[in-house]
Amino acid sequence: MKNILLLSLIFFSFQTIAKERVYIDIGKAKIKKSLLALPALNFFGSPKAKNATIVGQNLFSTIKNDLDVASMFAFISPKAFIEDTRKTGLRPAPQFPGGFKYANWTPLETEFLIRAGYRISNNKLTLETYVYYIPQAKLIFNQSYEGTLRSYRRIAHRFSSDIIRQLTGKKAMFNSKLTFTSDRRKRNEKEVYIMDWDGFNPQRITNHKGITLSPNWSSDGSKVLYSSYTYHRKAKRRNIDLFIYDLAQKRRYLASYKKGINSGGSFFPGDKEIALSISLNNNPNIYSMNLIGKKKFKQLTRGPFGAMNVEPAVSPDGKKIAFSSTRSGRPMIYVMSRRGGPARKVTFAGKYNSSPSWSPDGKKIAFAGYVKGHFDIFTVNIDGTGLKQLTSAKKLNGTMATNEDPSWSPDGRYIVFTSDRTGKNQIYMINSDGSNERRVTHDKYQYFKPKWSPFLD
């Protein structure tokens, strides 16, 4: 799967320096934005090369958007540049004739300078990159990336991820994806899609020509678990069945089809077992299901008193399950052992709390909370403390918008969700501290239940 997602890119690392140093500490509560100079990319080739300008612009805009989303940098305006970066090389003078001069960047109080250029040969794209720490006139790292022209976004995302890793010592999510359901193909139908985290390259992966629900990633990102209304010919009835779609094989497999509702699937680490909600006799409960060998179901919740137990979310370490339950009256978020048994209540406020999503470090849960006629996104520590509201938005008519279906990015820095503030359910993202909210999709379609993939590189 990873080879497919890499789109046959080849990454050559020529030099990596000072890997042990952390230039930006993202563990601090508030990160001071570093001044970054990001000149336009230099093109090394014939000016008549087909699509050269467009490819360069697309590479540049993708890299800049990634670094802007990172919320770590303040970009220096190109109008302030002292030297003409179109006429200087990617490496410094005097060691390299015709190169740039460190002295031209210090008056701008530049902390980091990115110099990059690209080549195009037939259908092959090469991006050569250098990142410098100006206060010490130091090269942090340089790397070259190769791929097809169509894979330019993958190349740009990989470079952006490498920048963040080199400066912070932490992985970045720029090569990750989202899965969701949408009516993109036909109104009144919902199919499962995957796309880049920033809204590009949507691909439909199901063809049920009906309603699909609640997609979720396997822990290695190679499969998508989802539910769909399915017609059973022998029984002459429709049922909500649970499917697994293998992205590499482009095939779907029927996982659970017990009479009733089989939904809300969540993989345990290792992808050999799932948690799901099964409704028998109109009484939904959480079950675990073994995917290896003979299928075995184990009931993990039993009401009590006919309570609804749905939306299981397996913790990153696989030891706990968060879920929504009406056992205390109103739907609230609970956490229990992966083996079932007693459940601990995590949320206590509001009329309806749903869609729990674990942070990658397992310390927080994001959820949708119903407040005064609409849903908003909240986070809470797993012991029930530290409740924080992240979203609040109004529709064009002045009424409050609904924000729901949260999912954490694999690096734990962002949360994706849906909002109807424009009149359509669109996808948005926000920093996990509630800052820098931004829109991901910009179209006329409806989007539901987005889930962020694990790291895919």
Q: Is 60 exceeded by the pLDDT of residue 29?
A: no
Residue 457 resides in a domain: no
Q: What is the pLDDT confidence band of residue 293, given thresholds at 50, 70 and 90?
A: confident
Task: Give mean pLDDT, residues 97-103.
Answer: 97
In the prediction, which pLDDT does 5 show? 36
Q: Which two tokens stand for residue 148?
A: 């097809």
Residues 120 and 219 reside in one and the same domain: no
Gap between the Cα atoms of 138 and 403, Å rounded: 45
Let me know whether 188 and 156 are in one domain: no
- Given a cut of 60, whether residue 11 has pLDDT beyond it is no
- Min mean pLDDT across 260-264, 320-324, 358-362 is at 260-264
Determine contact, residues 304/327, Cβ cutoff 8 Å: yes
Helix axes 52-69, 152-168, angle to 10 degrees: 40
pLDDT at residue 77 is higher than 50: yes
Confidence of residue 233 (pLDDT cuts 50, 70, 90): confident
Instruction: Please tell me the distance from the alpha carbon of residue 152 to that of residue 144, in angstroms, as a whole number.
Output: 13
Distances from the Cα of 98 to the Cαs of 86, 87, 107, 137, 281, in angstroms? 11, 8, 20, 17, 77
Q: Please give the Cα distance from 347 to 283 (Å, whole number).
A: 22
Please determine, for residue 3, whether its predicted confidence score (pLDDT) is greater than 70: no
Q: Are residues 146 and 203 in the same domain?
A: no
CA distances from 145 to 16, 331, 426 (A): 14, 49, 33
Of 15-29, 161-175, 337-351, give the lowest mean pLDDT range: 15-29
Spatial distance between the Cα atoms of 336 and 342, rounded to a whole number of angstroms: 6
Residues 304 and 382 in one domain: yes
> What confidence category does residue 28 fall into, taking pLDDT thresholds of 50, 70 and 90?
low
Q: Do 212 and 164 belong to one domain? A: no
Per-residue pLDDT tens for 364-378? 999 999 989 999 999
Bridge partners (DSSP) of residue 240 are: 229, 261
Task: Round the average pLDDT of the chain to a whole number and report it.
Answer: 92
Boundaries of domain holding 416: 177-452
CB 273 within 8 A of CB 258: no
Asked if residue 386 has pLDDT above 60, the reply is yes
pLDDT in tens, 50-66: 789 999 999 999 999 99
Q: What is the pLDDT of residue 6?
A: 39
pLDDT in the model for residue 164:
96
From the list 249, 243, 234, 332, the residue with the least C-alpha distance to 291 is 243
Q: What angle do CA 404, 325, 376 make, to 5 degrees?
A: 20
- Residue 188 scores a pLDDT above 70: yes
pLDDT at residue 2 is higher than 60: no
Whole-number Å distance between alpha carbons of 270 and 218:
8
Is position 323 within any domain? yes
Share of the chain above pLDDT 70, in %: 94
Last residue of a domain, one of 145, 168, 191: 168
Residue 358 phi, psi dihedral angles, 5° rounding = -80, 140
Tell me: do 154 and 194 sit in the same domain: no
Res. 25 pLDDT band, cuts 50 70 90: confident
Which residue among 151, 168, 185 closes a domain? 168
The verdict on residue 279 lying in a domain is yes
Q: Are residues 119 and 253 in the same domain?
A: no
pLDDT band at 236 (very low <50, low <70, confident <90, very high): confident
Q: Does the pLDDT at position 86 exceed 60?
A: yes
Q: Is the pLDDT of residue 45 over 90?
A: no
* Cα separations in angstroms, 264 against 5, 285, 415: 25, 11, 19
Number of separate domains in the chain? 2
Quick one: 138 and 216 in the same domain?
no
Residue 14 clears pLDDT 60, i.e. is over it = no
Q: What is the pLDDT of residues 297-354, one digit of tens each?
A: 999 999 998 899 999 999 999 999 999 999 999 999 999 999 999 999 999 988 999 9
What per-residue confidence (pLDDT) applies to 283? 87
What distance in Å separates the CA atoms of residue 284 and residue 59, rounded to the nearest whole number? 48
Looking at residue 20, its pLDDT comes to 58
According to the model, what pLDDT value does residue 9 have?
A: 46
pLDDT value for 377: 98
What is the distance between the alpha carbons of residues 172 and 241, in angstroms, rounded to a whole number? 35
Answer with the one of 142, 168, 194 that is the final residue of a domain. Answer: 168
The secondary structure of 158-201, three-state, reads HHHHHHHHHHHCCCCCCCCEEEEEECCCCCCCEEEEEEECCCCC
Does residue 450 have a cis peptide bond before it, meaning omega lies within 30 degrees of 0? no
